[in-house]
Structure 1
Amino acid sequence: MEFEKRRVGRTDLELTTLGLGGATLAGNLAHLTDADSKILILQAYDAGIRYFDTAPFYGYGRSERLMGDELRGLDDWILSSKVGRRLRPVKEAQDVNDAWRRPLPFEPYFDYSYDGVMRSYEDSLQRLGLNRIDILYIHDPDTFTHGVDVQPEMHARAMDGARRALEELRRTGEVKAIGLGVNEAKPIADALEHAQWDCFLLAGRYTLLEQDPLDTLLPAVEAHGASIVIGGPFNSGVLVGRETWNYVDAPPEIMTRVKELARVCDAHNVPLAAAALKFPLAHPAVASTIPGPRSAEELEQILEWWQLEIPGSLWSDLKNEKLIPENAPVPV
């Protein structure tokens, strides 16, 4: 397949508009074996996807190892990983409540310091078995992760140590683009005054279901000269028929809104998921979207949705029914 490529901020990097998220490779929301995950990566590459995202946190190093093993020897790919959590060995049995399935025997801890980020970057290269990472995101200096009381201090640490480290890595050519990877819009908005960033990975928050950043964050990021990558375009499952919304059980009001969106899509013979996949990319600030399929079959389904023609009348009906804002850019 041929995917459009979009430039990242003011850099010379170009991302395919569809990427592959690496969290599910490490077993959250899925039971993938290493072989399953490797097949999924190669299937994405063979389909024409050239943007891949991972992080030390995903499976405590497992996602990076799997991603590196398959990208090694291939070419023309763009890879992003993250800093802010480091890994240390753990000898105890895995916590039964751990979100990751079959992780590597490590535990994460937060370290947004300059030295910690430099070490994290080197550790990632070794886990990946690669000689480059193109984009580095500061991982999760947000309220979703740290809570309302601790987040301001963590964000301040990230804007001091981690930010300086990423700027140095970019200055020396080690990486080509830097930004934040977060679950909320506010940490990105707060970061804009601290550096010239290139791109931000925003999980959910600007989707067919949620558009709060439309009039605030997205224009600010555009004016800053950076790009947005949308992770979780299906809001962690609720837009593909599951009942999980942003990593928790979807409340009744969310399920009601999803049903209304699905009703309009059904009237146009368009799967809700196909509309959800394409909607964020209509905004000029968005460079790519990276769903996290849980199997080769799910990736195949995503690729089918991607190729569907969506009539303009669907978007106008969604606006007429006030299910998306009137001023929201829509695909043409």
Structure 2
Amino acid sequence: MTIHKARRRLGTTDLEVTTLGVGGTGWGNLYEPMQDEDCDTVIRQAVASGLNYFDTAPLYGHGLSEERLGRTLQQLDRASYIVSTKVGWRLDPLPKDASGWSLFPEAHRYQQVMDYSRQGILDSIEASMERLDIGQIDILLMHDPDEGSSQWDGWPDTEVSHFEAAMENAYPILDDLRSKGHVKAIGLGMNQWQMLARFAEAGQFDCFLLAGRYTLLEQTPLDEFLPMCTERQISVIIGGPFNSGILATGAVDDARFEYKAAPPNLMQRVKGIEAMCIRHGITLQAAALQFPLGHTAVASVIPGMRATSELETNLEAMTMDVPSDFWTELKDRELIHPNAPTPS
């Protein structure tokens, strides 16, 4: 079985996700609009290629990502895919005269409001069920209980926390749904690992979706968080394995890192990694996608895919043979953590 079709179990559940999954931010028009038919084609081709895990959220395009994903998956064999979506962000109608910059241009006209009240969570689940319309949501994740304050640099703003509300209101609902078999796994999706570690100690979770924090460019969770997840049998899903762009595009002029322009020092670092990739006969994308999977706590990496060309590039990257000498050189040059486990 090729690596992208290989499956890893989520926690102690019966769910087995492919090591390559698909993140759904692009279907919500992240950065620029997508056409419905392009979303449909990518999702269908991903399933046909053997991928089975798709992640989405109400936040992505203010419901648009869920609608597009559901519209396609409704027409496919329900046993062929696993879906995760999220709770925590409420969608309120946007005033008619409202305008301004958004990560999701031409998305549905809603504004996101953090809502970890019991009713807010119940309403969010019901709305996601309606938008997806696939019968059952496999995985429910609490989304950004730090209001995304760590999105830009991965470090928590300790002044912004909905930890208590999430545990008091959302967790009992998700835990009850899991115990009754209405969902198969529960967890959280965040851009920081520090608060996830607190949640790991406070509840019984199956998986955490950690975006941008365990990549070729950052391994801060390695010493504390990932061992904790291994010990507690919590699987980690790696979102943003390209750090929102630069590890897919390379150090091009308009390269993005964590949703903004990549700084000069990071551009130089990526150029060095690119040169190493060329010497070893591999692509930067192959190194970026395969690296996180070297850790046994990691179940899947889920880059966004906006076109079939991106899907094909990612599939090729996952099947590429990355020599062990490449990982050794990365460590010798102090470009990754010296104790980072690497794919065999």
Same fold (TM over 0.5): yes
Distance 2:239 2:278 in 1: 25
1:32 alignment counterpart: 34
Superimposed CA distance per residue, residues 246-294 of structure 1 (whole angstroms, 9 cap, x where no aligned partner): 1121122221221222222121011111111100011000000000022
1:157 alignment counterpart: 165
Count of equivalent residues: 331
2:116 alignment counterpart: 112
2:130 alignment counterpart: 126
Matched, 1:267 2:279: yes
1:30/1:294 contact within 8 Å kept:
no
Distance 1:310 1:102 in 2: 39
1:253 alignment counterpart: 265
Which segment is superposed worse, 197-206 or 232-241?
232-241
Structure 1 segments unaligned to the other structure (5+ residues): none
Matched, 1:81 2:85: yes
Would you identify which runs of 4 or more consecutive aligned residues in structure 1 move more than 4 Å? none
Matched, 1:98 2:107: no
Which segment is superposed worse, 207-216 or 135-144?
135-144
Superimposed CA distance per residue, residues 176-207 of structure 1 (whole angstroms, 9 cap, x where no aligned partner): 11111000111101111211100000001100
Q: What amino acid maps onto 1:101 in structure 2?
A: P
Which segment is superposed worse, 225-234 or 70-79?
70-79
Distance 1:84 1:247 in 2: 21
Which segment is superposed worse, 39-48 or 16-25?
39-48
1:17 alignment counterpart: 19
1:20/1:292 contact within 8 Å kept:
yes
2:325 alignment counterpart: 313
2:153 alignment counterpart: none
Residue 218 (structure 1) shift: 0.2
2:295 alignment counterpart: 283
Matched, 1:148 2:157: yes
Residue 133 (structure 1) shift: 0.5
Distance 2:197 2:31 in 1: 29
2:214/2:220 contact within 8 Å kept:
yes
Residue 92 (structure 1) shift: 1.2
Residue 94 (structure 1) shift: 5.7
Superimposed CA distance per residue, residues 64-96 of structure 1 (whole angstroms, 9 cap, x where no aligned partner): 000001111322210000000122333515623
Structure 2 segments unaligned to the other structure (5+ residues): 151-155
TM value normalised by structure 1? 0.95
1:8/1:199 contact within 8 Å kept:
yes
Distance 1:81 1:223 in 2: 25
2:38/2:306 contact within 8 Å kept:
no
Measured on the aligned residues, the alpha-carbon RMSD in Å equals 1.6
Say which SS state the counterpart of residue 127 (structure 1) adopts: helix
Distance 2:31 2:103 in 1: 8
Distance 1:256 1:159 in 2: 42
Identity %: 45
C-alpha spacing 1:93/1:300, structure 2 compared with 1 (3 Å): farther
1:178 alignment counterpart: 186
Q: What amino acid maps onto 2:318 in structure 1?
A: W
TM value normalised by structure 2? 0.92
C-alpha spacing 1:30/1:226, structure 2 compared with 1 (3 Å): same
2:225 alignment counterpart: 217
Residue 13 (structure 1) shift: 0.6
Superimposed CA distance per residue, residues 130-150 of structure 1 (whole angstroms, 9 cap, x where no aligned partner): 211011110011364387264
Say which SS state the counterpart of residue 109 (structure 1) adopts: strand
Distance 1:161 1:201 in 2: 20
C-alpha spacing 1:180/1:277, structure 2 compared with 1 (3 Å): same
Matched, 1:227 2:249: no
1:45 alignment counterpart: 47
Q: What amino acid maps onto 2:186 in structure 1?
A: I
1:32/1:295 contact within 8 Å kept:
no
2:8 alignment counterpart: 6
